[in-house]
Structure 1
């Protein structure tokens, strides 16, 4: 491992440790400096985005998320996390159409991810896509709930997810 890569890994580990211990501001400061020191490093940019989000600095997080997703080298889990983070952040900032586009593509890449589908449903709600949002949420509920009362009606919930206006 090169000296530069080792320094990057140590810096990243220290910053993530700070965030995990509740010192998000110190983590953010270190990660902003790391992005400048390691431009184009997708993982560093992703961690910087996350640090901004934790502090409620959504608008400042966006460019870091976008940089992370443009780059290469993110693990599948980190890529999924960056997609969710950016889509959610777009939605929080009122950038609903961008949130829907991004989250719809993310769900195509990770169809089994319930969190991505949930955030897509919220963004669809914000754009007036109430029917599709309900379909997504009812399907997710039918597929994943361990509640025995819901399990008893799983087939009915799944059926209504396809056609909520259906009558018997």
Structure 2
């Protein structure tokens, strides 16, 4: 089954490198625990639901990124990230530390507008052996498909 993503959604998702133009290295394939989700164009790092309403992307960046071994360290980064994102073209920015096995990650949520369409983005920042790895979920701001809450819960509690 081949899933088609609208050009606007694809454009938005490809532009989501909000930490700057980072050099991406190949990452291990993202394991998406949702029935009916498929890789986009055979890329196991980009997944969409069967209706094309939600999109997940995993990226490994060449940028050094610390491992947060305490909630306070993750919270300090979350505050800096929120301030940085608040100065960019996104709005309604919220960040928080999230517990992961053996440490902490940071989850950011914000609204991004492109071509007159608002998208709600959830982006998880993880340290993968000292290198930044992000898992980003995207859907139209008022999308009511079942995939939206499942995707957000995956990012909040399970993505690692």
> Taking CA–CA contacts closer than 8 Å with sequence separation of 6 or more, which of the two structures ends up with the larger relative contact order?
2
Structure with the larger strand share: 2
Assess same fold via TM > 0.5: no
Q: What TM-score do you get using the length of structure 1 for normalisation? A: 0.25
Structure with the larger helix share: 1
Larger Rg computed on CA atoms: 1
Q: What TM-score do you get using the length of structure 2 for normalisation? A: 0.26
